Structure 1
Amino acid sequence: MQTRRQFFGATSAFALTALLAGCGGTTGASTDAKTTGASDSASSDGATGAASTGTLIVGFDAGYPPYGYVGDDGSYTGFDLDLAQAVCDKNGWEVQLEPIDWDAKDALLGSGQINCIWNGFTMEGREDDYTFSEPYMLNEQVVVVKADSDIKSMEDLAGKTVLTQVDSAALDVLQGDQADLAGTFKELQTIGDYNNAFMQLESGMVDAVACDLSIADYQMAAKPDEFRTLGALSSEHYAVGFAKGDTATADAVNAALKELDRDGTVKELCEKYADQGMSYDNWVLE
């Protein structure tokens, strides 16, 4: 899958904002690199990691509230981005926020243009492709429909058009453990970001959206009478992804996250984004 912006603004306006807005000296990672397999591209001895360079370069999807998005003031904000800043403060690192094309994340990580992926990043099924932090947040993959839809159960998705984000955990589930369910759909479509996915659901262009529970909670908090969930496709965890071999940075991030939990910072951030669906009850790192 904040206080803030009109989530359902015009698509073109959002895209322009996401491209032009920035903070903290962010220049925006190049997205013309070809995406390659994570196990090939995201390999490193840690030389480009924050533990070596003193700068955590966070690759994130700028259209993924409440974890990372463009705020009302045009700067990047979100739970994970605030958490990354707090971790950097603990470790004496600089933070650099790099909005990326999600489909290019592996190439960018492998080239060193970013040195972590921190944006509601599901670790299950990717354990062999990255060096991960310890999991910090519980998540589920769910299916969302319009509140007045005649779709009442997963079985009712037969013959319907379902939309999800490209290279997302929801897509992995629907092509893996829930492939039989997806086989009943009229069509399983993909899109670049969940902002536009929910705009299409609201307009009736698609029948359902498969996404992270946090994204669903965000949407339902913004428009409580517009959407509802059918149920969970899978349960999983979020973690911070680093290039293979960058254990020094992963260890430093783990230690900082645990300190931030003990000193109450994590709970404060969850409360800050509670109106977007964030809950401290889902925090799992101790």
Structure 2
Amino acid sequence: MKKRLAMVLAVTLLAMTVFVGCGSKDNSSDKNSKKEYTEKKSGDKFTVGFDQDFPPMGFVGDDGEYTGFDLELAQEVCKRQGWKYVAKPIAWDSKDAELKSGGIDCIWNGFTMDGREDKYTWSKPYLNNEQVFVVRKDSGIKSEKDLEGKVVDVQTDSSAQAALKEKADLSSTFGNLEVVADYNTGLMNLESGSADAVAMDTVVAAYQIEKRKADFTILDYEIAAEEYGVGFAKGNKAVRDQVESTLEEMAKDGTMAKISQKWFKKDITIIGK
């Protein structure tokens, strides 16, 4: 009887030890998951996550180097802050994982704030944008109503895809809504005739039409209006504030307007206006 009682007590104590140990581990994990963000210092790395197939915001230039409007803004911010600028191309559908893991400090690449307000800590918006349809000039497509039964391409996990999901009354009339990896693929499909339209950012569409010297046109129809901002991990106000204050300086001294003129032939920025 005494032996049986001793065994029962031993098993009970072991179970309590395992239970307490598990509880302690969970609490420690919860505590570690609440990351504290601090300001960057001179000499620190600043890694910008971007889609390398998204000209003119960020892409691979003719010289093989990463370039673009957003990347030039980021470079200037790093120069003024004394940070080491690092451009890191990412798969657009893995951007959140990159940000959460610390692989990048921000997402800066024509990143739409609308609909994502609560997912990131944002800078002030620096550009206005619209989601539009690009078609071939000789397609006979004059309005969004003419897209009925047509093939429309859209980039995966993009604002255009989200906007068309909200406009199911329109997208349901398409013959097919094809999701592609990037807009370069979509525009190539449009050029070859395997797609009838591409839903995309008007800022990017205007640049691409001029750059490609393509017989494309933008339909006079706004799928959605939006704003671009720099997205940081939720809670990272420290670095966000550093970047934001530097952008405001650049707007005030005309540097931002100068970079905009280079890429868009006019100043389309909105900070400080």
> TM-score band (shorter)?
0.7 to 0.9
Which of residues 97, 115, 126 is equivalent to 1:125? 115
Which has more helix, going by share of residues?
Answer: 2
In structure 1, the gaps of 5 or more residues are 1-41
Which of residues 220, 233, 241 is equivalent to 1:251? 241
Q: How does 1:201-280 map to 2 (within 5 A)?
A: 201-224=190-213, 226-230=215-219, 231-274=221-264, 279-280=266-267
Which of residues 150, 173, 181 is equivalent to 1:184? 173
Partner of 1:196: 185
What's the Cα RMSD here?
1.8
- Report SS of the residue matched to 1:209: strand
Tell whether 2:141 aligns with 1:151: yes
8 Å Cα contact 1:60-1:99 kept in structure 2: yes
Query: What is the CA–CA distance in structure 2 between the aligned matches of 1:63 and 1:214, rounded to whole Å?
Result: 14
TM-score (norm 2): 0.84
In structure 2, the gaps of 5 or more residues are 1-32
CA drift of 1:54 comes to 2.6
Task: Name the amino acid aligned to 1:66.
Answer: P
Partner of 1:285: 271
Partner of 2:150: 160
Tell whether 2:59 aligns with 1:62: no
TM-score (norm 1): 0.80
User: Residues 152-192 of structure 1, C-alpha deviation per residue, up to 9 Å, x if partnerless?
Assistant: 1111111111001000000010011x221111111111111
Query: What is the CA–CA distance in structure 2 between the aligned matches of 1:105 and 1:43, rounded to whole Å?
Result: 20
Q: Once the two structures are aligned, what percentage of the paired residues are identical? A: 49
Task: Name the amino acid aligned to 1:62.
Answer: Q
Aligned length: 239
8 Å Cα contact 2:42-2:83 kept in structure 1: no
Tell whether 2:32 aligns with 1:46: no
Query: What is the CA–CA distance in structure 2 between the aligned matches of 1:87 and 1:179, rounded to whole Å?
Result: 40
Query: What is the CA–CA distance in structure 2 between the aligned matches of 1:141 and 1:44, rounded to whole Å?
Result: 35
Larger of the two Rg values belongs to structure = 2
CA drift of 1:274 comes to 2.4
Query: What is the CA–CA distance in structure 2 between the aligned matches of 1:222 and 1:43, rounded to whole Å?
Result: 45
Partner of 2:99: 109
Runs of 4+ aligned structure 1 residues displaced above 6 Å come to none
